[in-house]
């Protein structure tokens, strides 16, 4: 019996194998050598750089049901630091992060060391609650366990990038409304107004897209979505939950006394002498309080330019050609959070001249662009997408943007507008460009109208960019690359990169880039639509015409060293 046949994979390694993060041969060799060296398998994988720090963290979080914390975004107070001596922390491979009552949150990178939680309780008298952290960041902290704290946000497990945040910040202050239930004082001593200001300012500095404030039975959790991935940034005392929600609702001009219904609002946040950042605010009643999600709406994203979005040269050329047409329809498709709005507004920004009358209908408008007439639809008031479109057509428009085509009525009016001398831009929720055509037929739109009106469809996803500072070459077996879709002739000269993680990035990634399928509707495709062909038939025709699908576009980005194979698989997996 061979050594490989006697090896039993730990559950963590099995999950890594299932996700395609590590090959079977590499896993077999790693488990065998880790056992020989008496090293925990997760630590071995990270020390040998067989798996990235973030992949291990995400897999551990999923396998053991634990939250993830970013140590770079946490300022550990001197009080918490003193709870566990540094030499003890090094021995246990755990680091105290935040103290809450009789509990202490501790960061651990390797689940092998979860067995040391009882030692924490014995040494400190506190109940240890583990959170997963990245290995290199934990080791850096254990090597130099010093630091300073400078405010309420830091004391709660969140650090502000600028020490002059208060000088840079200027927002309108409002007198907080309260109810009898809110008048009960807590003993945290936290300045809620200052805490919320620092929370928003910190999120802007970190390049966050969404802030989640989530109350639970015994915990209040704050998470940031950075590059599409949610990360725990703070766990403040549960006692401040109601005051925190009230402050955010006041800034959003919402009804602070209404906690039984969802509400939507907006925060206009000043971050400099002449720059404002808007936050779209949504509240949702839950079992233990109101969950609040704040989406950062940075209008400057519309002026990034088409070159910054990640289009390949031929894709960019096809998009710009479609935007030059005086009429017809351009559709952008993809899941929520795939960057459709930024793509549309980048196009609108190109078209936005004094000679053009441009109108948009959205739910709601996320990017404000001077020179464009923007309308927020409000179905409760009778202002639907269809109603807005009808009104636009009486306003002498040149270009119309519809936030989303959701029903047949909106689709029909959009089609008629596109057929009568207007350029119409809109979005749908489908997985690929060919599926968009069949989706419209299923909605009830006549095939002839689709074939004669739709000029271009863009399907897209967002993938995390590899950090240019720390990415490193990786060696992948040829069989694995062929199974991912790489061409055999490209493999000999192929140089692929993987994430490492450094002080300049988050787990080896920094920023995001678009992955696109840009499909002009050819006359052949138009005939196929009228003949009732399905999405698969149209996809095959697109391939014959040399149009790259999402997978092929992602492979090109990986070959260029822009994204990792993990991201390729994550964003284009069927």
* pTM strictly above 0.85: no
CA distances from 460 to 30, 311, 428 (A): 37, 10, 11
What b/e string do you get for 299-336 counting C-beta neighbours within 10 Å, with b at 16 or more?
Answer: bebbeeebeebbbeeebbebbeebbeeebbbbbbbbee
Rounded to 5°, angle at Cα 209 from 203 and 214: 75
Q: Do 382 and 401 form a contact (C-beta atoms < 8 A)?
A: no
Q: Do 256 and 270 form a contact (C-beta atoms < 8 A)?
A: no
pLDDT of residue 112: 85
Which residues of the chain are under the pLDDT cut of 50?
1-5, 146-185
User: Residue 209: helix, strand or coil by DSSP?
Assistant: coil
DSSP-derived secondary structure letter, 176? P
The string of pLDDT tens digits covering residues 113-162 is 888 887 787 777 788 888 888 888 888 888 765 443 334 444 444 443 33
| Cα atoms in the 13 Å half-sphere on the side-chain side of 281 | 25
The phi, psi pair for 425, rounded to 5°, reads -115, 135
pLDDT of residue 2: 43
Q: Do 433 and 334 form a contact (C-beta atoms < 8 A)?
A: no
pLDDT of residue 314: 95
pLDDT of residue 171: 29
- Contact residues for 573 (Cβ-Cβ < 8 A; gap 6+): none
Secondary structure (DSSP) of 303-345: GS-GGGTT--HHHHHHHHHHHTSSSEEEEEE-STTSSHHHHHH
User: Residue 45: helix, strand or coil by DSSP?
Assistant: helix
Name the nearest CA neighbour of 537 among 434, 443, 441. 434
Any idea which residue has 């590590």 for tokens? Answer: 22
pLDDT of residue 166: 34
Any idea which residue has 């920094």 for tokens? Answer: 510
| Cα atoms in the 13 Å half-sphere on the side-chain side of 144 | 5
- Contact residues for 369 (Cβ-Cβ < 8 A; gap 6+): 299, 302, 345, 348, 349, 352
Chain centre to alpha carbon of residue 155: 26
Packing angle of the helix pair 11-18, 53-64 (nearest 10 deg): 110
Three-state SS letters, 222-233: EEEEECCEEEEE
pLDDT of residue 145: 55
Could you tell me what percentage of the chain is helix, strand and coil, using 3-state DSSP and rounding each to the nearest 5? 40, 20, 35
Q: Do 406 and 426 form a contact (C-beta atoms < 8 A)?
A: no
β-strand pairing of 423-428 with 263-270 = unpaired
Name the nearest CA neighbour of 194 among 204, 186, 183, 202. 202
Tokens of 503: 């002080």
The string of pLDDT tens digits covering residues 283-341 is 999 998 999 999 988 766 656 678 888 899 999 999 999 999 999 999 999 988 888 98
90-93 LR contacts (CB < 8 Å, sep 24+): 90/142, 92/116, 92/119, 92/120, 93/138, 93/142
Q: Do 159 and 153 form a contact (C-beta atoms < 8 A)?
A: yes
Q: Do 297 and 367 form a contact (C-beta atoms < 8 A)?
A: yes
């Amino acid at each position: 019996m061979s050594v490989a046949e006697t090896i039993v994979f730990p559950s963590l390694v099995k999950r890594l194998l299932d996700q395609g993060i590590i090959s079977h041969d590499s896993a077999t060799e790693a488990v065998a050598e880790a056992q020989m060296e008496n090293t925990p398998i997760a630590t071995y994988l990270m020390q040998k750089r067989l798996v990235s720090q973030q992949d291990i963290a995400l897999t551990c979080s999923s396998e053991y049901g634990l939250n993830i914390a970013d140590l770079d975004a946490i300022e550990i107070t001197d009080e918490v630091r003193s709870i566990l001596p540094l030499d003890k922390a090094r021995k246990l491979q755990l680091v105290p992060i935040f103290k809450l009552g009789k509990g202490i949150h501790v960061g651990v990178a390797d689940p092998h060391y979860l067995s040391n939680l009882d030692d924490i309780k014995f040494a400190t008298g506190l109940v240890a609650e583990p959170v997963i952290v990245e290995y290199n960041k934990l080791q850096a902290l254990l090597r130099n366990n010093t630091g300073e704290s400078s405010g309420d946000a830091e004391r709660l497990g969140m650090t502000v990038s600028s020490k002059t945040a208060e000088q840079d910040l200027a927002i309108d202050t409002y007198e907080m409304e309260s109810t009898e239930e809110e008048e009960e004082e807590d003993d945290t001593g936290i300045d809620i107004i200052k805490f919320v200001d620092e929370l928003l300012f910190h999120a802007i500095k970190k390049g966050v897209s969404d802030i989640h404030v989530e109350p639970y039975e015994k915990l209040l959790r704050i998470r940031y979505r950075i590059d599409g991935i949610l990360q725990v940034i703070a766990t403040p005392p549960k006692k401040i939950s109601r005051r925190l929600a009230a402050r955010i609702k006041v800034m959003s001009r919402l009804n602070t006394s209404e906690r039984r219904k969802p509400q939507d609002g907006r925060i206009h946040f000043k971050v400099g002498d002449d720059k404002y950042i808007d936050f779209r605010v949504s509240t949702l009643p839950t079992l233990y309080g109101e969950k609040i999600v704040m989406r950062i709406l940075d209008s400057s994203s519309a002026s990034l330019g088409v070159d910054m979005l990640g289009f390949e040269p031929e894709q960019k050329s096809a998009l710009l050609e479609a935007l030059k047409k005086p009429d017809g329809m351009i559709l952008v498709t993809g899941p929520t959070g795939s960057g459709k709005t930024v793509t549309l507004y980048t196009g609108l920004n190109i078209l936005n001249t004094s000679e053009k009358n441009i109108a948009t209908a959205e739910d709601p408008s996320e990017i404000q662009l001077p020179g464009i007439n923007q309308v927020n639809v409000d179905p409760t008031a009778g202002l639907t997408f269809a109603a807005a479109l009808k009104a636009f057509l009486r306003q002498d428009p040149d270009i119309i943007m519809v936030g989303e085509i959701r029903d047949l009525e909106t689709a029909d009016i959009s089609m008629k507008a596109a057929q009568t001398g207007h350029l119409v831009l809109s979005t749908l929720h489908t997985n690929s460009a060919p599926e968009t055509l069949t989706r419209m037929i299923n909605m009830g739109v006549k095939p002839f109208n689709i074939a004669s009106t739709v000029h271009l469809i863009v399907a897209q996803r967002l993938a995390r960019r590899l950090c240019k500072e720390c990415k490193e070459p990786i060696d992948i077996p040829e069989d694995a690359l062929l199974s991912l879709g790489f061409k055999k002739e490209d493999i000999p000269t192929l140089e692929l990169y993987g994430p490492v993680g450094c002080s300049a990035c988050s787990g080896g990634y920094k920023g995001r880039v678009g992955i696109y399928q840009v499909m002009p509707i050819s006359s052949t495709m138009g005939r196929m639509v009228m003949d009732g062909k399905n999405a698969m038939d149209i996809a095959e025709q697109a391939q014959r015409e040399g149009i790259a699908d999402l997978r092929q576009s992602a492979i090109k980005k990986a070959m260029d060293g822009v994204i990792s194979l993990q991201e390729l698989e994550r964003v284009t997996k069927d």
